[in-house]
């Protein structure tokens, strides 16, 4: 027997090795990582350069507690990250995962308003569908029925007013105007922030609003005194073909940017919040301390991994690669759509792409979920890893498959992905 508490009752192959876009299990089977795990392995697997830097860091300074020290590696990384993201005066609050980062952003927004003398602001407006994490605060913020419903007795719903998903039929600015009505209904003087995924990931199949949405949403937030928070845990760090996905539809500077996943690309647990100078100043010039913290925050080995991953991203021009290989993959997915009527839509930005699956007879979602899981299972049997999801329609109905290989994938490997997907769709549907 195993002593491992698995994520589900299904059987799991045992991974033993990974390199580039491939992982191998203990039976010697090879899997093409078509989803970078869960959109994590942005620079590909098995980079000796990253391992060497982490080993050096672990030998020199493995840990220094954030209540006692900053570290040279953290100072250096924060400066590089701020430059890469073109957020020169934002400050990095480094943590270990996307959920921790969103918890931090939510609490920071709350404290910011209290410091400024507006203690009545606590609500955080988010969208349906959305996914911001598994911890209770981040889950309360999420609009994802399937992952949330078990825990609703623990959630105070009035604290999390919900905005409808972006409407592709509307101009971005008009679409964002719908935020105004949600703020008005919630009582704008009680709202601390609006939190959204610029390109929605797990919950809504790489859906993005039209250009102009985020800039207008940020303006509305400013008008009402709320912070604008971009959750770029999945869509950020170049994955969508720009350092930040929020910039795809026009220039905008969020008050807080939440990062994770691709930040250290799976080499170590690393996530973070980039907070504006205004927010940082309000806290430090007010009570003088962020009333929040995690033991492993800013872990030197994780931060060292993030630093070298960022070097690789820049040196190998992987943000541009995400645009090029993303265009190739999207074109191939559109070909699959033409051949498989159960593929209702192929969409996304850069290398955050998705197939929306549904009933060709009605052109809408299947009555019950499970189809995306089936396609993913067959694709995995054929040696391709994908990230299946459900619930984009109403939290339950709606099947989709996220595709997001490492940004370092080659043109030939993209073709291999498409061949396996084609066969898997044919077999599973």
Ligand X SMILES: Cc1ncc(COP(=O)(O)O)c(C=O)c1O
Q: Give whichever of 249 and 272 is closer to ligand X, judged by the CB atom.
A: 272
233 sits near ligand X (criterion: CB under 6 A): yes
Long-range contacts of 59-64 (CB under 8 A, 24+ apart): 61/300, 62/300, 62/301, 63/299, 63/300, 64/300
Instruction: Name which position in 66, 209, 243, 260 contacts ligand X (CB under 6 A).
Output: 260
CB closer to ligand X, 95 vs 114: 95
Q: Is 197 in the site for ligand X (CB under 6 A)?
A: yes
**Residue given tokens 């994780």 in the structure block:** 302
Question: Which of the ranges 120-128, 195-203, 355-363, 401-409 carries the binding residues for ligand X, by CB under 6 A?
Answer: 195-203
Nearer to ligand X, 186 or 202 (CB): 202
d(C-alpha 385, C-alpha 405), whole Å: 9
What track of x and - describes contact with ligand X for positions 24 through 53 (by CB under 6 A)? --------------x---------------
Q: Minimal distance in Å, beta carbon 70 to ligand X?
A: 23
Distances (CA, A) of 374 to 14, 197, 370: 20, 27, 6
The verdict on 234 binding ligand X (CB under 6 A) reads yes
Q: Which of 269, 305, 280 is nearest to 77 (CA)?
A: 305
Tokens 């939290």 identify what position? 395
Q: Which is nearer to ligand X, 6 or 28 (CB)?
A: 6
Using rule CB under 6 A, residue 202 touches ligand X: yes
Report in angstroms how near the CB of residue 115 gets to ligand X at its nearest. 25
- State the residue number with the nearest CB to ligand X: 98
Query: Which residue do the tokens 């400013």 mark?
Result: 222
Binding characters for ligand X, 107-146, by CB under 6 A (x = yes): ------------------------xxxx------------
Whether the link from the prior residue into 129 is cis, omega within 30° of 0, is yes
The CB-of-340 to ligand X minimum distance in angstroms stands at 26
Q: Does 201 bind ligand X (CB under 6 A)?
A: yes
Among the listed residues 175, 204, 231, 255, the single contact to ligand X using CB under 6 A? 231
Beta strands in 133-292 (DSSP E): 162-164, 191-196, 227-231, 256-259, 271-275
User: Which of 34, 44, 98, 129 touches ligand X (CB under 6 A)?
Assistant: 98
Total residues interacting with ligand X, rule: CB under 6 A: 17
* Residue 154, CA distances (Å) to 105, 139, 287 in order: 20, 10, 30
Q: Which of 35/253 has CB closer to ligand X? A: 35
CB nearer ligand X, residue 233 or residue 273: 233
- For residues 336 and 330, give the distance between their C-alpha atoms in angstroms, rounded to a whole number: 10
Distances (CA, A) of 314 to 36, 89, 310: 19, 20, 6
Q: Where are the beta strands (DSSP E) in 264-408?
A: 271-275, 343-349, 352-357, 384-385, 387-390, 399-403
**Shortest Å distance, C-beta 28 to ligand X:** 30
Closer Cβ to ligand X, 100 or 115, answer by number? 100
Nearer to ligand X, 102 or 408 (CB): 102
HEC sequence for 376-395 = HHHHHHCCEECEEEECCCCC
By CB under 6 A, tell whether 102 contacts ligand X.
yes
Nearer CB in complex with ligand X: 96/342: 96
Decide if 419 contacts 374 (C-beta within 8 A): no
Tokens of residue 75, six digits: 């100072």
Contact between 97 and ligand X by CB under 6 A: the answer reads yes
- Of 113-121, 197-205, 273-281, 417-425, the window that binds ligand X (rule: CB under 6 A) is 197-205
322: Cβ contacts below 8 Å, ≥ 6 apart:
238, 239, 240, 241, 350, 351, 407
| Alpha-helical regions (H) of 26-97 | 36-39, 48-60, 72-84
Question: Is the CB of 20 or the CB of 145 nearer to ligand X?
Answer: 145
- Kindly indicate which of the ranges 53-61, 86-94, 194-202, 317-325 contains the residues binding ligand X, using the contact rule CB under 6 A: 194-202
If the CB atoms of residues 342 and 386 are measured against ligand X, the closer one turns out to be 386
Q: Which two tokens stand for residue 46?
A: 């098995």
Cβ 351 to ligand X shortest distance, Å: 15
- Tell me the two tokens of residue 326: 């993303």
Nearest to 250 by CA among 206, 203, 214, 208: 214
The residues binding ligand X (CB under 6 A) are 38, 97-99, 102, 131-134, 197, 201-202, 231, 233-234, 260, 271
């Amino acid at each position: 027997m195993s002593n491992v508490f698995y994520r589900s009752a299904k059987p799991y192959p045992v991974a033993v090795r990974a390199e580039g876009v491939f992982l191998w299990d203990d039976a010697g089977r090879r899997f093409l990582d078509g989803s970078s795990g869960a959109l994590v392995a942005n620079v590909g697997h098995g980079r000796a350069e990253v391992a060497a830097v982490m080993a050096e860091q672990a030998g020199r300074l493995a840990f220094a507690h954030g209540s006692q020290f900053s570290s040279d590696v953290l100072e250096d990384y924060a400066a590089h990250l701020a430059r890469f993201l073109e957020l020169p005066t934002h400050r990095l609050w480094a943590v270990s995962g996307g959920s921790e980062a969103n918890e931090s952003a939510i609490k920071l927004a709350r404290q910011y308003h209290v410091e400024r003398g507006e203690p009545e602001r606590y609500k955080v407006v988010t969208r349906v569908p959305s996914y911001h994490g598994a911890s209770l605060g981040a889950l309360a913020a999420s609009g994802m029925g399937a992952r949330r419903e078990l825990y609703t007795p623990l959630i105070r719903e009035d604290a999390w007013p919900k905005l409808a998903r972006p409407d592709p039929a509307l101009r971005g600015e008009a679409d964002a105007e719908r935020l105004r009505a949600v703020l008005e209904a919630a009582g704008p003087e009680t709202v601390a922030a609006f939190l959204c995924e610029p390109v929605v990931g797990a919950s809504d199949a790489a859906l993005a609003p039209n250009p102009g949405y985020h800039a207008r949403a940020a303006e509305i937030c400013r008008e009402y005194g709320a912070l604008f928070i971009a959750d770029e845990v999945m869509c950020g760090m170049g994955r969508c073909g720009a350092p930040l996905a929020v910039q795809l539809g026009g220039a905008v500077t969020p008050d807080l940017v939440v990062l994770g996943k691709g930040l250290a690309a799976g080499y170590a647990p690393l996530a973070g919040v980039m907070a504006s100078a205004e927010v940082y100043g309000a806290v430090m010039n007010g009570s003088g301390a962020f009333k929040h913290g995690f033991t492993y925050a800013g872990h030197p080995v994780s931060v060292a991994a993030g630093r070298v991953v960022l070097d690789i991203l820049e040196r190998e021009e992987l943000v541009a690669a995400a645009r090029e290989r993303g265009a190739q993959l999207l074109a191939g997915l559109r070909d699959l759509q033409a051949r498989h009527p159960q593929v209702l839509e192929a969409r996304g930005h850069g290398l955050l792409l998705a197939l929306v699956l549904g009933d060709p007879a009605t052109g809408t979602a299947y009555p019950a979920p499970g189809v995306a899981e089936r396609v993913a299972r067959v694709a995995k049997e054929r040696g391709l890893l994908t990230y299946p999801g459900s619930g984009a329609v109403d939290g339950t109905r709606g099947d989709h498959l996220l595709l997001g290989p490492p940004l370092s994938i080659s043109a030939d490997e993209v073709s291999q992905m498409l061949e396996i997907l084609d066969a898997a769709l044919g077999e599973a549907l």
